[in-house]
Amino acid sequence: MDRHTQIREFLTSRRAKITPKQAGLPVYGGGARRVPGLRREEVALLAGVSVDYYTRLERGNARGVSDSVLDNLARALQLDQAERTHLFDLVRAANAAARPRQAVKQQIRPAVQRILDAMAVPAFVRNARHDTLAANQLGRALFSPIMFGQALPVNNARFILLDPRAVDLFPDWEDVAGDTVTTLRWAAGRNPYDKGLTDLVGELSTRSEFFRTRWATHNVRIQCKGRKAFRHPAVGDLALSYESMTIDADAGLTLVAYSAEPATPSEDALRLLASWAATVEGEENMRQPSTT
């Protein structure tokens, strides 16, 4: 999508979410308003800019807009940290010369794989497109419907939004799918010239009505931590916390690790998952043809 269009649609969607009462503005007359949320002139007033200036910005013309103006606008629209970052990303991209990047194959360094393998919890490394590039044995087992029998990388977003098995794996599928859309929207703002990401968004838009609907809301999210429920085909229900950690030496890569609360059924299920994974992967290795 055109960068200027993204600015326009993002600002319009955020303006529609804030009522005058939420913004601390008086409402006179008590009659029905013709627009949802704030009017352009109300946003301009709150941000300390002229109506013409804000109108030009909302139409996608971000040339020469300063960081201080964007900060004021973020406060006026009550943007959270993810939304504020996204706004800055969109403006930066709109003001930069187009620099389409040739796709570069991302590699997992042996040291990173060793760290994964040494971890006693399910863990994997992914990029901004939700491609899983590497995982440890427990990570492969936890996501066995997508990873077992598949060569990495595999795309988690494509699985969650297009594969019927995802509804079985995630009891809260709609929340998981919604989070996937919002993190992809945030990544698209950060990486406007990532052809792989653009192609993925195009594919999901074509094949998933859920994705199209949620993408149109322009909601964004930074997924750093949280809790996720699983209904695993081998060990049953698990409720796991996750933490996402960027790998500073490898730009764009994130390590995600899952853990269970001590002395809970989920901790017991993780132990069972480890035994199951060792058995299943051992059988899989035995079926591989010998190279000697």
Angstrom distance (rounded) from CA 56 to CA 50? 10
Q: Which of the listed CATH numbers 3.60.10.10, 3.40.50.970, 3.30.410.40, 3.30.450.180 matches domain 110-287?
A: 3.30.450.180
Angstrom distance (rounded) from CA 291 to CA 278? 22
* Structure tokens given for 13: 């969607």
Domain ranges of the chain: 3-95, 110-287
At 273, phi and psi to the nearest 5?
-65, -40
Angstrom distance (rounded) from CA 270 to CA 280? 15
Print pLDDT tens along the chain (292 aa). Answer: 578 889 999 999 999 999 998 999 887 655 567 777 999 999 999 999 999 999 999 998 988 899 999 999 999 999 999 999 999 999 998 887 656 555 567 889 999 999 999 999 999 999 999 999 999 999 999 999 999 888 999 999 999 999 999 999 999 999 999 999 999 999 999 888 888 999 999 999 999 999 999 999 999 998 889 999 999 999 999 999 999 999 988 988 999 999 999 999 999 999 999 999 988 875 555 444 444 4
Q: Note the pLDDT of residue 130.
A: 96
Q: Is residue 232 exposed (0-12), middle (13-18) or buried (19+ Cβ within 10 Å)?
A: buried
Question: Residue 223's closest CA among 264, 183, 252?
Answer: 183
Q: Do domains 3-95 and 110-287 have the same CATH topology?
A: no
**Bridge partners of 155?**
131
- For residue 51, give the amino acid letter: V
| Cα 67 from chain centroid (whole Å) | 25
Strands (E) located in the chain: 123-126, 131-135, 154-155, 225-232, 236-246, 254-259
Upper half-sphere CA count for residue 129 (Cβ side, 13 Å): 24
Level-2 CATH architecture, domain 3-95 = Orthogonal Bundle (1.10)
Q: Is residue 262 exposed (0-12), middle (13-18) or buried (19+ Cβ within 10 Å)?
A: exposed
Mind listing the pLDDT tens digit for each residue in 43-87? Answer: 999 999 999 999 999 998 988 899 999 999 999 999 999 999 999
Mean pLDDT of the chain: 90
Please list, in sequence order, all residues whose beta carbon lies within 8 angstroms of the beta carbon of residue 7, skipping any fewer than 6 positions away: 57, 58, 60, 62, 90, 91, 94
153 preceded by a cis bond (ω within 30 of 0): yes
